Chain A
């Protein structure tokens, strides 16, 4: 196993997935607490649109996907504010429009649909060093954001109206948080795929709620569980030769079930 791990793409994959596992659950926590799940599905469709656009114009799908998801979040937030509509409803509208646009691109530019859909599986081993650096910088920024704005986030998580009356610029922070979630979802999609990204985004904070005794405890628990799922799942995949994303998701689900049953007792 050590021999396999010493291979550069595998080693790079282990480092990236561990870093992501230790940091991305922070965005999962925002997603979970602020009930942004419809938006997470919209972003998944946004990734398919990004992939089809990138393949149609022969540009980097990694950055295109991130760019398109950021644009979608900007449009969505603006529309939600202008139309005074719930973000969930707007997300559903954007979900439909993005997938229809994706298929228009696939059809009109003769993009191989299968190549676009590979985004749903992710590809941890083909990351370039630029992409790895990008993920590393974003992970650091995510940790910094959580640390320096912990008071804002605490207020936002507790209650948006209380946050507003306590003097926090909650609407700006909500917007920033949505943006952070969008970038994280796009990155996680690249790492373990759209179908399984919840394993490092959502399951760690959900498992942390089983034992957390405070918000601080929940944050620490989320990132630790994320690290365990990501690194443990990756090593498991190498050991028994299964896809890394599936191993990460399987391990996360197993821990979730054990924690849930233990909690029940």
Chain B
């Protein structure tokens, strides 16, 4: 069979794929995650490689390759990262939209994230608000607001206190009834019976959880994220451990949640959301109780989570300066509408 991608190790074929576009490389990524193989020892044979494929190869740690048809833009990426290559035919550019989406300024990890989103390999779900109006007591907070956050995309909503940022998040969670309009998360309309069955797809980190003074350990908090899933005790413990290790909070497993610092609590809460397997993370003023170091840590943690899981994230903050450092798309809520 004529494979589109062949990977060898010491001249022995260990992986092949017949998929198209970038999918063979994503399949290889899955394969490498399951097998303890050093990617730098592999030799990769690909039929066509543009800049996107070259970025993916570099991201996966491939050091040697042969490509049938390669673009000049791909060569510059391989050269820059010291990947040794041979090819059959060189062209200026591959006719693919992705080729133009990755510019020279983009880092390999950012390019990887973009490609994952393009390939639909993100955990994130789209969130869509359609002419949503919200009211708290007599005050109209949102007036026929439209918003679309695509799968795996991140958005910061900022604005002064009392403009309705938190209420908006709570409406997405289904806590606040809408005056008019609809909210959809993935394929489910918030409030519908199908949504009720799947509402754990949206994870929530709110400000008040910081104040919880009940004797509960960090590990027990993360276990809440498992919800109703019918896992064996070992599987559940494993999932909790993985989530806590990913957020660097496993050492807090047996510690009482109420004795943790603000930053540690945020790590534990994000581990809970990972355990929940949520496609959308809603974070309400996550820096409220954090000192400067905690804020820096949170920034790094969110960056890691996005790169590993690629969930859709909507973060509400009135700390404009900190939010700017995230380099996410940003929108200001003012006078009942987004500006």
A residues near B, CB below 8 A? Answer: 33, 151, 154-155, 157-159, 161-168, 209, 212-218
Contacts and interface: CB of A to CB of B under 8 A. Distances in A.
Interface in B160-182: 173-175
Contact of A214 (B215, B225, B227): B215
B208 interface: yes
A159 B217 contact: no
Interface stretch (B60-68, B87-95, B199-207, B301-309): B199-207
B217 A215 contact: yes
23 contacts: A151-B224, A151-B227, A151-B228, A154-B216, A158-B209, A158-B212, A158-B216, A161-B175, A162-B204, A162-B272, A163-B224, A164-B173, A164-B174, A164-B199, A165-B200, A165-B204, A166-B203, A166-B225, A213-B217, A215-B216, A215-B217, A216-B220, A218-B215
Contacts of B202: 165
Interface string B185-211: 000000000000001101110101100
A202 to B, nearest CB: 15
Interface residues of B, number: 28
Contacts of A217: 215
Contacts of A167: 199-200, 227-228, 276
A223 B225 CA distance: 27
Interface in B253-284: 254, 256, 272, 276
A167 B200 CA distance: 5
A159 B208 contact: yes
B188 to A, nearest CB: 13
B265 to A, nearest CB: 12
Nearest to A208: B215
Contacts of A214: 215-217, 220, 254, 256
Given A151-B228, A155-B224, A158-B221, A166 B276 contact: yes
A166 B224 contact: yes
Nearest to B208: A159
Interface of B: 173-175, 199-200, 202-204, 206, 208-209, 212, 214-217, 220-221, 223-228, 254, 256, 272, 276
Dominant secondary structure of chain A at its interface with chain B: helix
Nearest to A209: B215
B254 A213 contact: yes
Given A162-B204, A165-B202, A157 B228 contact: no
B69 to A, nearest CB: 48
Nearest to A156: B224
Contacts of B276: 165-167
Contact of B227 (A33, A168, A216): A168
B223 A151 contact: yes
Contacts of B214: 33, 157-158, 215
Contacts of B254: 213-214
Nearest to A217: B215
B199 A159 contact: no
A36 to B, nearest CB: 15
A118 B220 CA distance: 43
Contacts of B221: 158
Nearest to B204: A165
Q: Max chain B CB contacts within 10 Å: which of A151, A165, A217?
A: A165
Contacts of A166: 200, 203, 224-227, 272, 276
A159 B220 contact: no
Given A151-B223, A168-B227, A159 B209 contact: yes
Given A154-B223, A165-B204, A213 B175 contact: no
